[in-house]
């Protein structure tokens, strides 16, 4: 731990005089039509947003999509949405998830300013379930929508484990700035916005 | 009647006397008494921008001595004014008159706009003019909003120029990219500097400008050097010449 | 070779230099649109700057708080004074677990520490998984940009590279097809990896979590499968509270690429079930920079790359013209603090246009820092003697008005009477592509005195 103490000592000696933390109050963006803005931004980030009245409608809408129709291995973390072909709880090694076509996930909240959804991966049997499938579908309740990231952080807690903001499908522009969807993670991200 | 101490940057004094004279005429036309203190030489910017504070300091001291008696100091240069306003603290900070000098040294358009509150400049300039926004005027004096920032748009130089009769102001596609002069950068980094300058010129040409106008002869001298070497028809003019009604 | 010489070589290929300039200007434009979509953009920048300044003023405390909470969450925190110690720690962790294949998501810190060659020399295969980083890794190059590592390469060149390294068909140049090939190639690496490594965008003192941001999902793939996740972070990555992320994340992606947020903003609080999380906290010169009142603001950098994209010099000289790993304005302010002799040319690789300062999401006064570094370079005697003496001479001459006026007159006379070939030769670097000004017979002061007289 010599290095630890050396580093902290050096930092302590180097620190500038104290300045106050300014807080994060008074920042943010407000949108007149929250679900509309959210749906718009999901599209901007390369996803598809379907607005449905309830879970049954979400299920119907999803089943009509090619990502579901053409899928062979489907898991659903949202009871009643999507025709699951297997239960990932029964999968011991996450490597076996490779090649799965679709995973249906439930989001804790959605952010209108950037189309991101907060996924609490602690609730999933495998961390890889949001990134390893070829496609993902995310169910978001309209009642959980927030305007911006400040509101989002005010609403989420940070218990041990993994969680993330997912905004659209995996993408890259590393070759000549040409946008390509589906770099390593999901090739598509369908957001089912329920109740709006 | 307001009296200003006229600050003519050294290279304008030596190479572009007509820009200095145009500045005098613009100020006098707007009811200002102009005094040119002949003791002045250089603000010290070339030294300061090269990191040579010891060489810049005596020049800053001289500048302060020459100009500290004036209510206002005005110069036809954004870059040299920024030197006095933003970079003298480390050279003559705390000296008598420094704070006053810092607060009362203005670039010409800024002086017309902020102090004299000029809304309209009488004169005619029936030409297609591309506006070159010199960096230090833009980003250190904030003569305009700048393309980087998300603030309400404004442009003091453009506002004054656009009030001239017959003028057609043209925006380059990159509104305020640097021309590549950059003081000693122009020779230290000659290759990049000239590429930047050529790109600026080409942008103005593409908009159909006959003239590139700017507030700093340094940028214009650099672009003019490239233009004349390439034998292009486009010309450079200092904004003071336009505001003096020298069509 | 200093920046000017390398840049001149880059500029020599005019078409390519313009292609590079345009590619990055396109990113700058996307950034502008992103910034304009946020009404409180400037307030956000000010807040981000203030949070970073506050954090610096209590950095040791926040690092300890982070360590405490990260440990509570089940992570193991290591401390490394320099790159060598960092590499030793990482290698020790891998060796003890018999890990032979490490998948790494983008981390400029591991580049800075030169981790890859260190591990490779010890028999561990390191695979960079960010597409751009994989490209430059296969091409045996460092990144030329901190966000878009392969921005200097054309699709045709990547096609040839992939054909020779991962076996794509000859002549393949479509970015979509090349990306797909990389996906398949790297998917096998992800599935075979025995360890995953990431950088850290933010470490939250209050919660002990780390946040890693990617668009590709490579950090997520790389940490969801192997039994160990090692995350390397510089000491400056810590922020006080989770709510501060709202400020930084609203700025980061918009500044980097114009996106409203990156695709994956992953929050790791402790390890995945049945796996390990190790966080290596690295100093490597950062505390020394923190000591420098004039230069510490550069430590606030969140590595968005916006200052590179807007820099008219970077765009026209490419990442490899800089003598340090991090190019562009931020690199040129950080590098001389590490080695002023090796990087003496970098503070001068700028026209001081100030665009970098205005795009910086945390409001680092980059062009003022570059100017201040020039002063340091001179103070340490690292400016070439000729330039220094030139400035001394000019300064001395300009102290005496009569001497200045006389010298000006003489110079103007000389320029008027000397043959053009001579003046062109005398004008040196100025005259290579530029004419000198047309010399007037009178200076302003002469004209003024003649026409106005003495007051």
- Each residue of A50-109: pLDDT tens digit? 999 999 999 999 999 999 999 999 999 999 999 999 999 999 999 999 999 999 999 999
* CB C119 within 8 Å of CB C87: yes
CA separation (Å) from C416 to C100, C150, C316, C441? 73, 50, 35, 8
Confidence of residue C421 (pLDDT cuts 50, 70, 90): confident
* CB A182 within 8 Å of CB A47: no
Q: Bigger pLDDT: A1 or A189?
A: A189
Verify whether the Cβ–Cβ distance A153 to C262 is below 8 Å: no
Q: Is residue C455 predicted with pLDDT exceeding 50?
A: no
Scan residues 65-94 of B and list those with Cβ closer than 8 Å to C: 87
- Residue B168 counted as domain residue: yes
Q: Which chain C residues are within 8 Å of B20, Cβ to Cβ?
A: 444, 447-448
pLDDT of residue A1: 66
Q: Does C187 touch chain A (CB under 8 A)?
A: yes
Q: What gap in Å lies between CA B128 and CA C145, rounded to an integer?
A: 39
Q: What gap in Å lies between CA A51 and CA A57, rounded to an integer?
A: 9
Confidence of residue C442 (pLDDT cuts 50, 70, 90): very high
Domain boundary, last residue among B115, B140, B159: B115
Q: For the domain bounded by C39-284, which CATH number is listed?
A: 3.40.50.10420
Q: Does A82 touch chain C (CB under 8 A)?
A: no
Which token pair is C438? 């047309």
Q: Does C250 touch chain A (CB under 8 A)?
A: yes
Verify whether the Cβ–Cβ distance C444 to B44 is below 8 Å: no
Q: What gap in Å lies between CA B130 and CA C186, rounded to an integer?
A: 50
Q: What CATH number has the domain bearing residue B171? A: 3.40.50
Q: Does C353 touch chain B (CB under 8 A)?
A: yes
> Where in chain C are the domains?
1-37+298-383, 39-284, 393-452
Chains sharing 3 or more CB pairs under 8 A with chain B: C
Write the CB contacts of B215 (distance below 8 Å, at least 6 apart in sequence). Answer: B76, B77, B78, B107, B108, B109, B134, B137, B143, B157, B238, B239
Q: Compute the nearest-CA separation of C120 from chain B (Å).
A: 38
pLDDT in tens, C290-313: 999 999 999 999 999 999 999 999
Q: What gap in Å lies between CA C196 and CA C219, rounded to an integer?
A: 8
For residue C413, the chain B residue with the least C-alpha distance is B14
> Where in chain A are the domains?
36-194
The continuous run of DSSP H or E covering C101 comes out as strand C101-104
Verify whether the Cβ–Cβ distance C54 to A20 is below 8 Å: yes
Q: What gap in Å lies between CA C445 and CA C429, rounded to an integer?
A: 29
Confidence of residue C426 (pLDDT cuts 50, 70, 90): confident
B137 plus B80 within the same structural domain? no
* CB B179 within 8 Å of CB B223: yes
For residue A152, the chain C residue with the least C-alpha distance is C246
Q: Does B193 touch chain C (CB under 8 A)?
A: yes
| CA torsion angle C170 C175 C179 C182 (round to 10) | 30
Q: Does C442 touch chain B (CB under 8 A)?
A: yes
B76 plus B26 within the same structural domain? yes
- Residue B189 counted as domain residue: yes
B49 plus B11 within the same structural domain? yes
pLDDT of residue C68: 98
Kindly provide the ipTM of the predicted complex, given to two decimals.
0.98
Domain tally, chain B: 2
- Residue B212 counted as domain residue: yes
pLDDT of residue C181: 97
Q: Compute CA C64 distance to the chain's CA centroid, rounded to the nearest angstrom.
A: 28
Q: What gap in Å lies between CA B50 and CA B63, rounded to an integer?
A: 19
Q: Compute the nearest-CA separation of C415 from chain A (Å).
A: 48
pLDDT in tens, A2-47: 999 999 999 999 999 999 999 999 999 999 999 999 999 999 999 9
B63 plus B143 within the same structural domain? no
Verify whether the Cβ–Cβ distance C350 to B185 is below 8 Å: yes
* CB B138 within 8 Å of CB B176: yes
For residue A151, the chain C residue with the least C-alpha distance is C246
**Average pLDDT estimate for C268-289:** 97
Q: What gap in Å lies between CA B194 and CA B200, rounded to an integer?
A: 10
**Domain that residue B11 falls in:** 3-115
B160 plus B205 within the same structural domain? yes
SS3 content of chain B, % helix, strand, coil (to 5): 50, 15, 40
The continuous run of DSSP H or E covering C3 comes out as helix C3-12
Chain C interface mutation, best of B140, B192, B222, highest count of C Cβ atoms under 10 Å: B192
Q: Does C413 touch chain A (CB under 8 A)?
A: no
Confidence of residue C158 (pLDDT cuts 50, 70, 90): very high
Helices (H), C13-106: 14-36, 41-57, 59-72, 83-96
**Average pLDDT estimate for C340-344:** 96
- Residue B121 counted as domain residue: no
Q: Does A174 touch chain C (CB under 8 A)?
A: yes
> In this complex, does chain C touch chain A, defined as having at least 3 beta-carbon pairs under 8 Å apart?
yes
Q: Is residue C454 predicted with pLDDT exceeding 60?
A: no
pLDDT in tens, chain B (247 residues): 899 999 999 999 999 999 999 999 999 999 999 999 999 999 999 999 999 999 999 999 999 999 999 999 999 999 999 999 999 999 999 999 999 999 999 999 999 999 999 999 999 999 999 999 999 999 999 999 999 999 999 999 999 999 999 999 999 999 999 999 999 999 999 999 999 999 999 999 999 999 999 999 999 999 999 999 999 999 999 999 999 987 5
Domain boundary, last residue among B83, B115, B147: B115
Q: Which chain C residues are within 8 Å of A17, Cβ to Cβ?
A: 57
Under CATH, which architecture does the A36-194 domain have?
Answer: 3-Layer(aba) Sandwich (3.40)
pLDDT of residue C161: 98
- Residue B60 counted as domain residue: yes
> In this complex, does chain B touch chain A, defined as having at least 3 beta-carbon pairs under 8 Å apart?
no
- Residue B174 counted as domain residue: yes
B25 plus B105 within the same structural domain? yes
Which token pair is C357? 């300062």
Verify whether the Cβ–Cβ distance A8 to C63 is below 8 Å: yes
**Average pLDDT estimate for C436-441:** 94
């Amino acid at each position: 731990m010599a290095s630890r103490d050396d580093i902290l000592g050096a930092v302590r000696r180097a620190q500038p005089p104290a300045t106050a933390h300014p807080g994060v109050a008074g920042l943010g963006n407000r949108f007149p039509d929250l679900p509309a803005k959210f749906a718009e931004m999901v599209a901007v980030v390369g996803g598809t947003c379907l607005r449905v009245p309830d879970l049954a409608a979400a299920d119907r809408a999803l089943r009509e999509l090619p990502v579901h129709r053409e899928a062979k291995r489907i898991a659903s973390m949202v009871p009643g949405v999507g025709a699951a072909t297997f239960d990932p709880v029964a999968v011991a090694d996450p490597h076996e998830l490779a090649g799965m076509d679709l995973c249906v996930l439930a989001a804790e909240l959605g952010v209108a300013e950037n189309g991101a959804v907060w996924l609490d991966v602690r609730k999933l049997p495998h961390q890889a379930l949001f990134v390893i499938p070829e496609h993902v579908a995310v169910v978001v309740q309209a009642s959980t929508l927030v305007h911006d990231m400040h509101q989002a952080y005010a609403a989420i807690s940070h218990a041990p484990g993994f969680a993330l903001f997912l905004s659209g499908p995996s993408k890259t522009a590393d070759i000549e700035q040409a946008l390509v969807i589906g770099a390593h993670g999901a090739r598509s991200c369908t957001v089912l916005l329920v109740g709006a | 009647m307001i009296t200003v101490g006229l600050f003519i940057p050294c290279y304008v004094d030596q190479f572009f006397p007509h820009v200095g004279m145009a500045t005098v005429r613009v100020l006098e036309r707007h009811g200002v008494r102009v005094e040119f203190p002949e003791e002045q030489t250089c603000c010290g910017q070339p030294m300061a921008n090269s990191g040579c504070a010891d060489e810049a300091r005596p020049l800053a001291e001289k500048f302060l001595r020459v100009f500290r008696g004036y209510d206002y100091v005005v110069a036809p240069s954004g870059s040299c004014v920024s030197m006095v306003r933003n970079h003298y603290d480390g050279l003559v900070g705390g000296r008598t008159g420094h704070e006053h000098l810092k607060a009362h040294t203005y670039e010409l358009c800024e002086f017309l706009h902020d102090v004299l509150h000029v809304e309209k400049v009488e004169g005619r300039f029936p030409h297609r003019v591309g506006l070159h926004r010199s960096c230090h005027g833009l980003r250190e004096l904030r003569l305009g909003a700048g393309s980087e920032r998300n603030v309400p748009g404004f442009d003091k130089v453009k506002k004054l120029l656009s009030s001239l009769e017959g003028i057609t102001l043209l925006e380059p596609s990159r509104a305020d990219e640097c021309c590549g002069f950059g003081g000693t950068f122009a020779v230290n980094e000659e290759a990049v500097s000239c590429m930047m300058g050529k790109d600026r010129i080409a942008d103005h040409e593409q908009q159909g400008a006959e003239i590139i106008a700017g507030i700093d002869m340094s940028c214009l001298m650099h672009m003019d050097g490239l233009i004349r070497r390439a034998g292009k028809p486009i010309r450079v003019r200092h904004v003071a010449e336009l505001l003096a009604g020298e069509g | 070779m200093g920046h000017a010489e390398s840049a001149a070589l880059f500029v020599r290929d005019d078409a390519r230099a313009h292609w590079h300039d345009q590619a990055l200007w396109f990113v700058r434009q996307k950034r502008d649109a992103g910034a304009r979509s946020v009404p409180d953009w400037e307030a956000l920048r000010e807040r981000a700057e203030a949070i970073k300044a506050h954090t610096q003023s209590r950095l040791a405390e926040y690092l300890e708080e982070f360590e405490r909470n990260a440990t509570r969450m089940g992570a193991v925190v290591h401390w490394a004074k320099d790159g060598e110690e960092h590499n030793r720690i990482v290698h020790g962790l891998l060796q003890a677990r018999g890990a032979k294949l490490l998948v790494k998501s983008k981390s400029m810190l591991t580049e800075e520490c030169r981790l890859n060659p260190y591990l490779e020399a010890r028999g561990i295969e390191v695979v960079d998984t960010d597409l751009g980083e994989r490209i430059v890794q296969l091409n045996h190059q460092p990144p030329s940009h901190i966000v878009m590592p392969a921005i200097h390469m054309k699709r045709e060149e990547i096609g040839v590279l992939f054909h020779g390294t991962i076996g794509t068909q000859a002549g393949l140049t479509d970015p979509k097809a090349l990306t797909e090939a990389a996906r398949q190639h790297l998917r096998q690496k992800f599935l075979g990896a025995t360890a995953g490594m990431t950088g850290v965008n933010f470490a939250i003192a209050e919660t002990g979590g780390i946040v890693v941001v990617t668009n590709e999902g490579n950090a997520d793939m790389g940490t969801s499968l192997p039994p160990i996740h090692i995350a390397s972070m510089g000491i400056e990555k810590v922020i006080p509270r989770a709510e501060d992320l709202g400020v930084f994340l609203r700025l980061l992606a918009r500044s980097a690429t114009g996106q409203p947020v990156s695709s994956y903003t992953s929050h790791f609080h402790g390890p995945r079930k049945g796996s390990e999380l190790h966080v290596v906290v690295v100093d490597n010169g950062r505390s020394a920079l923190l000591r420098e009142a004039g230069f510490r603001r550069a430590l606030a950098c969140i590595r968005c790359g916006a200052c590179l994209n807007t820099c008219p010099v970077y765009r026209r000289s490419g990442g490899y013209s800089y003598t340090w790993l991090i190019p562009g304005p931020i690199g040129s302010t950080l590098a001389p603090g590490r080695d002023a002799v090796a990087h003496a040319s970098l503070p001068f690789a700028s026209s001081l246009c100030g665009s970098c300062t205005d795009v910086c999401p945390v409001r680092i006064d980059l062009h003022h820092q570059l100017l201040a570094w020039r002063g340091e370079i001179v103070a340490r005697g690292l400016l070439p003697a000729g330039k220094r003496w030139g400035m001394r001479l000019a300064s001395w001459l300009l102290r005496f008005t009569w001497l200045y006026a006389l010298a000006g007159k003489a110079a103007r006379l000389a320029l008027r009477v000397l043959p053009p070939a001579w003046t062109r030769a005398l004008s040196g670097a100025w005259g290579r592509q530029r004419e000198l000004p047309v010399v007037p017979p009178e200076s302003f002061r002469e004209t003024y005195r003649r026409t106005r007289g003495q007051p």
